[in-house]
């Protein structure tokens, strides 16, 4: 592992990863020099590319929620829709827990109590490159005396190959889609979904899905429960990316990067965000479905794991 004051570089075989200390952000991931994710500039850039999303992923509507009878308010950072977006961890400064290693990195940071989130959490982010790509995740430990609401996700913009996503194929087994309001993307209700089995074409998405199709295997080789979900994004030439996650994430947000034709990144990547909970899960009592909101008791910890693997040639995972 090599690093500068605010970034770290891991290598294994043809894989290379760059991680920023700010937010434990996955800034870049390549295979044989080919970008597998949209490289992040600043971790505060619009769209949160590669960011660690915790202690909540996605949106908390109006930045307000009630937990154990207490009304709380977190800062609004999505002004146009008036929501608190993607938690607080993305702005924390993480530090290594040990000496450098070529293919492994562990970073930690403390989230101190604030009026809107009055709990102390310790985050530990894990990154490991091996022959199957990048295995990474986050562990959160509640250091407070009281139970805390919690959720987590990651925000890579996946790149299958050159050109627009219109010609790429997405394969992902899901059975339900969360409908949202068109203006502010406020959750409404679940509707049946057929899943994804082919070319994206002009499909435009900024939606969460659940009813994940689990299969044998796991994002973590040492996990005791061998169940995983797999999303495959493939370009016409056979290159692509496989994203795998464990059963801790029963939701996934998909965003087709519809940023407007004048934006260079418009429809150039697909954001896949496996989430432990639904959007606005901190307000879970407001919805007619199980949001998956987690509660961390005092001293309790929770780990979420993901894996990214390159596809090359005929589409065989490397």
Q: Tell me, what's the pLDDT at 224?
A: 37
Phi, psi of 101 (to 5 degrees): -135, 150
Give residue-wise pLDDT tens across range 255-293.
998 888 888 888 999 999 999 999 999 999 999 999 999
User: What are 12's two structure tokens?
Assistant: 């294994």
Which DSSP symbol is given to 64? Answer: E
Say how far apart CA 316 and CA 318 lie, in whole Å.
6
All structural domains of the chain, each given as residue ranges with its CATH number in brackets, are 2-317 (2.70.98.10)
Nearest to 8 by CA among 115, 191, 136, 142: 136
The answer to whether residues 252 and 152 touch, using CB atoms and an 8 Å cutoff, is no
Q: What is the pLDDT at residue 219?
A: 62
First to last CA, the chain: 21
pLDDT tens, 221-259?
444 355 699 999 999 999 999 999 999 999 999 999 888
Positive or negative, the CA dihedral 35, 40, 46, 52 is positive
Per-residue model confidence as pLDDT tens digits over 81-127: 999 999 999 999 999 999 889 999 999 999 999 999 999 999 999 99
At 315, the pLDDT band (50, 70, 90 cuts) reads low
**Whole-structure pTM value:** 0.93
E strand or H helix that includes residue 312: strand 301-312
Rounded Cα–Cα distance for residues 245 and 231 (Å): 9
């Amino acid at each position: 592992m090599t690093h500068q004051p605010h970034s770290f570089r891991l290598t294994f075989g043809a894989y290379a990863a760059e991680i920023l200390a700010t937010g434990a952000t996955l800034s870049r991931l390549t295979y044989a020099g080919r970008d597998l994710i949209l490289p992040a500039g600043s971790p505060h850039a619009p769209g949160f590319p590669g960011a660690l999303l915790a202690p909540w992923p996605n949106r908390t509507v109006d930045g307000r929620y009630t937990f154990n009878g207490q009304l709380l308010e977190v800062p609004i950072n999505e002004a146009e829709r008036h929501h608190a977006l993607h938690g607080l961890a993305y702005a924390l400064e993480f530090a290594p827990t040990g000496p450098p290693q070529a293919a492994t990195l562990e970073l930690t940071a403390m989230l101190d109590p604030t009026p809107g989130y009055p709990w102390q959490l310790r985050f530990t982010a894990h990154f490991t490159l091996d022959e199957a790509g990048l295995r990474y995740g986050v562990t959160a430990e509640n250091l407070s005396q009281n139970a805390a609401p919690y959720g987590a996700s990651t925000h890579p913009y996946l790149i299958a190959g050159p050109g627009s996503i219109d010609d790429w194929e997405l394969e992902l087994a899901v059975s339900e889609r969360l409908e949202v309001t068109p203006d502010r993307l406020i959750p409404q209700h679940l509707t049946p979904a057929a899943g994804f089995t082919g070319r994206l074409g002009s499909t435009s998405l900024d939606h969460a899905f659940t009813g994940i199709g689990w299969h044998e295997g796991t994002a973590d080789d040492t996990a005791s429960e061998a169940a995983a979900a797999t999303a495959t994004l493939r370009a016409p030439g056979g290159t692509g990316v496989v994203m795998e996650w464990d059963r801790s994430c029963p939701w996934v947000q998909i965003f087709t990067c519809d940023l407007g034709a004048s934006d260079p990144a418009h429809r150039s990547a697909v954001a896949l965000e496996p989430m432990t909970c639904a959007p606005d899960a901190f307000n879970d009592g407001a919805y007619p479905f199980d949001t998956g909101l987690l509660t961390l008791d005092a001293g309790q910890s929770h780990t979420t794991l993901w894996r990214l693997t390159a596809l090359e040639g005929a589409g065989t995972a490397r």
